[in-house]
A and B are shown apart, each in its own frame.
Chain A
Amino acid sequence: MSETTDPPITFYRLQGCPFCERVTRLLKEYDLEYRSRFVEPMHSERNVVKRVAGVRTVPVVVDDNTGVTMAESANIVDYLESTYGEGDRPDAAAAGAGGDD
């Protein structure tokens, strides 16, 4: 069977979390390949997130392209924009529409 390569970005997310969806929108906008890992609603059960990022909050993005692991949607959005948004930065209106924190 065919070999597949892992996408360089791993995205820890919670179903229905608006902060996670904000990150989803940007990943899609920049056409970045990522794997989604859905975690438990129960904060106390998110040990995998704690292990990779030191916190139990989502979203968390792990980017093997740069070695960066990052929590909190505002930080992640800044990071994605500065890392992948050069010359293709979304205009202020589009970025503002995604902000809800």
Chain B
Amino acid sequence: MMDFEVVELGPTDHPEPGEEAPEFTRPLVTDEFWEDRTLSELVGESDGTTVLVFTPMTGSFLAKYIWDELTERNWDERAGRVVGVTASTPYGIKRFLGDNDYPFAFFADPSNRVAESYGIEHELDGMTGISEPRAAFFALDDAGTIEGAWVATNWPHFPDYDELETELGLE
């Protein structure tokens, strides 16, 4: 541990297991194009659990560390669908996907309103006017009901990935 206090982000009011995941529509960015998709469409297409992964903006080391870890752990094969949500633009996400070989797609939410609707927004000190998601994970069943959730409470804060996989029901 560090010998000084890390930034506490405080409590959140995010949806808990048993609740329905808030619906949204945003451009879903792949390495080839982006197009509007709804969360419910993705959940409907997914064969098994859909995992929503909120990260700070692409470009930050926090996003890279999380997606490197999920790629390393083969989450793309262990869940029905894993999809990112971040406050980057489609162009920024496209570049992130181009620089990294991730088997995942990302929702672009530059307004950060999706994170707000999940109660996990974070105002960045020293970047006036910019809000982004906390690191957060939500596992959804095939009806869109939340089965497992983890939300960062510090800054920075990474999960214990073994415990997280248990919480989210990933085998």
Contacts and interface: CB of A to CB of B under 8 A. Distances in A.
Interface in B31-56: 32-36, 38-41, 43-44
B117 to A, nearest CB: 16
Nearest to A39: B33
Nearest to A1: B40
A1 B33 contact: no
A81 B33 CA distance: 27
Contacts of B35: 35-38
Contact of A38 (B33, B41, B144): B33
B33 A4 contact: no
Contacts of B27: 38
B33 A48 contact: yes
Contacts of A4: 38, 40-41, 44
Contacts of B43: 1
Contacts, number: 34
Contact of B90 (A2, A12, A38): A38
Interface residues of A, number: 13
Nearest to B143: A1
B14 interface: no
Interface string B99-134: 000000000000000000000000000000000000
Contacts of A40: 33, 94
Interface of B: 23, 27, 32-36, 38-41, 43-44, 90, 94, 143-144
Given A1-B23, A1-B44, A47-B32, 16 more contacts: A1-B143, A1-B144, A2-B40, A2-B44, A4-B40, A4-B41, A36-B36, A37-B34, A37-B35, A38-B34, A38-B35, A38-B90, A39-B32, A40-B33, A40-B94, A48-B32
Interface of A: 1-4, 12, 35-40, 47-48
20 contacts: A1-B40, A1-B43, A1-B44, A1-B143, A3-B44, A4-B38, A4-B40, A4-B44, A12-B33, A36-B35, A36-B36, A37-B34, A37-B35, A38-B27, A38-B33, A39-B33, A40-B33, A40-B94, A47-B32, A48-B33
